[in-house]
Structure 1
Amino acid sequence: MTNDSDSSSLIRLNIGGKKFCTTIDTLTQREPDSMLAAMFSGRHTLCQDPEKGYVFLDRDGKHFRHILNWLRDGVVPTLKDSKYTEVLREAEYYQLLGLIDGIHAILNKKKEDEELDTELTRTDIIKCIQSDRVRFRGVNLSGLDLSKLDLSFVDFSYACLRNVFFSRANLHCAKFKDVDAEGANFHNATLREEDVNLLGQISVELCWLELIFRVQIYKMLA
């Protein structure tokens, strides 16, 4: 194939025996730093089939349609996880950085969703809080015993904390935005004043009422 400055020129590709037709514009615009963009930039002479003009690439053509659709539309294909791995391998070969990032984002999201769906234990929480940044946003932690743990700076926003046992836990600077903490026990937990105020209408209020009631009973019996 000789250099061709016409970006709308039809390109015939033979990818491992599978035939595709596209344009230079498709191959070069969306991923300008890719191998395909470099090949069809007009700076290189490519070998074509002398009869039908196909440019041959020695790759598995099974997933090349996903490569082309990405270059055309910029949409990451919807696939099974095993297929994503295969397409990712091809994307890495063709140096399609946008597609690589898109696939990684989908796989990471799937992994996060699977982790959220798994019932957590106290041991799981301990492992999590050993990392630098801990977030349990929207996670169902109901009924867990989290007493005496260092949960400072942990983000519990939107989580279900029903009947969680936080007794003597360090909750300094933890986030409790819009949590469901009905029945949670914060006895002797370390909390900032603003967190106490935030939780006051939910479970902390119940704990204080229980404490006041016990004090009154103690005074009556004294």
Structure 2
Amino acid sequence: FPSNKWIKLNVGGKIYTTTIDTLVGREPDSMLARMFLQHAGGMMPSERDEQGAYLIDRSARYFEPIINYLRHGEFVCENHISIKGVLEEARFFGIYSLVTHLEEKLSEQEQQVDDRPLTRMEVIKAIIQTSAITELRFQGVNLAGADLRKLDFRNINFKYANMSRCNLSHTNLNYCCLERADLQNANLECAQLVSVRGLCANMEGANLRGCNFEDPTGVRTNLEGVNLKGACLESSNMAGVNLRVANLKNANMKNCNLRAAVLAGADLERCNLSGSDLQEANLRGANLKDAELALMVTPLHMSQAIR
């Protein structure tokens, strides 16, 4: 067949008009090319219909993006057409450059689905389906931006979880593990955080106004090394909390109960501690540069801040 010869293909009942050059030029080793190439590796063309079009028993829906790809080298697919379906047809016809492209595209789509944040309903379903005596693990789970307000998360493992921008206001997070969790700009207003383990968690810019951290049994909430830079902790009950070497730069800690809290080595630069109760708090080695300490409930003794 001459390369500029026009031919018709009947694919699944739909007629396509194209040239030999289109079928051969981009993928000379494909099944379509070998049907019309006159050499030793060629194939016999299929039978023709009454209009002279070569009959190919495949899906027209998925063939159209393939013929267009052979024409201009770009993969264009309507939203209602399955990429997986096109991939199977590309494999059948031996369009291997397109196969590679589609496999990468499908892999990206699957990755996006895997990384999709869980919704409120998905989280509630997981909680409902888990026995009260069974430990529920959300370790490493993506919950970014989820509305989780007023839910009961007691004893759940959120280690390494992405909870940035989550609405966790009025939630019960007692005895949870938040170690190295990402809670940037999350809303935890009025949350219960008794005996939480939050070592090195990232709570930068989070709203923790009116939270309760104090365990009446005396077990300390552990927030050692946590990043609370620019966070709001105003009016929170943080008695006995371990904030050793925490970053509290520019944090709002007005009117907080910090009795017996451990702030040794913490960075409190420009932190607003006005009206807070720091009785028996450990501030040894803490950076108090430009910190606001007005209207303290109890006097701050030098021994609390000296190594």
TM-score normalized with structure 1 length: 0.65
* Alignment deviations for residues 77-116 of structure 1 (CA, whole Å, 9 cap, x no partner): 211xxx63xx634531432533465467558857976963
Aligned residue in 1 for 2:162: 155
Q: Which amino acid aligns with 2:236?
A: L
Structure 2 gaps of 5+ residues are 92-97, 131-135, 203-225, 239-254, 260-275, 278-307
Q: Which amino acid aligns with 2:33?
A: F
Q: Work out the CA distance in 1 between the residues paired with 2:174 and 2:124.
A: 17
Aligned residue in 2 for 1:190: 197
Structure 1 gaps of 5+ residues are 217-222
Q: Work out the CA distance in 1 between the residues paired with 2:25 and 2:190.
A: 58
2:173 paired with 1:143: no
Aligned residue in 1 for 2:43: 45
2:10 paired with 1:14: yes
2:232 paired with 1:202: yes
| Matched length | 205
Match of 2:173 among 163, 166, 171: 166
Q: 1:176 to 1:186 in 2, by over 3 A?
A: same
Q: 1:78 to 1:114 in 2, by over 3 A?
A: farther
* Alignment deviations for residues 1-33 of structure 1 (CA, whole Å, 9 cap, x no partner): x5x6x4x76453110221012356655778x59
Aligned residue in 1 for 2:303: none
Q: Work out the CA distance in 2 between the residues paired with 1:94 and 1:11.
A: 20
Question: What is the correspondence of 1:93-112 to structure 2 with a 5 Å cutoff?
Answer: 93-95=89-91, 97=99, 98-99=101-102, 102=105
2:67 paired with 1:74: no
Q: Which amino acid aligns with 2:123?
A: L
Q: Work out the CA distance in 2 between the residues paired with 1:24 and 1:141.
A: 60
* Alignment deviations for residues 157-177 of structure 1 (CA, whole Å, 9 cap, x no partner): 232222222111111111112
CA-CA distance at 1:150 after TM superposition = 1.6
Computing the radius of gyration over CA atoms, which structure comes out larger, 1 or 2?
Answer: 2
Q: 1:131 to 1:174 in 2, by over 3 A?
A: closer
Q: Work out the CA distance in 1 between the residues paired with 2:75 and 2:200.
A: 49
Q: Which has the higher contact order (CA 8 A, sep 6+)?
A: 1
Q: Work out the CA distance in 2 between the residues paired with 1:62 and 1:88.
A: 12
Q: More displaced, 94-103 or 187-196? A: 94-103
Q: Work out the CA distance in 2 between the residues paired with 1:168 and 1:141.
A: 17
Q: 1:94 to 1:207 in 2, by over 3 A?
A: same
* Alignment deviations for residues 119-146 of structure 1 (CA, whole Å, 9 cap, x no partner): 631734987x647742112222222211
CA-CA distance at 1:147 after TM superposition = 1.5
Q: 1:124 to 1:24 in 2, by over 3 A?
A: farther
Q: Work out the CA distance in 2 between the residues paired with 1:132 and 1:13.
A: 54
Q: Which amino acid aligns with 1:39?
A: L
RMSD of aligned alpha carbons: 4.4
Match of 1:121 among 119, 124, 134: 124
* Alignment deviations for residues 38-75 of structure 1 (CA, whole Å, 9 cap, x no partner): 43154423415498663321123244334444655313
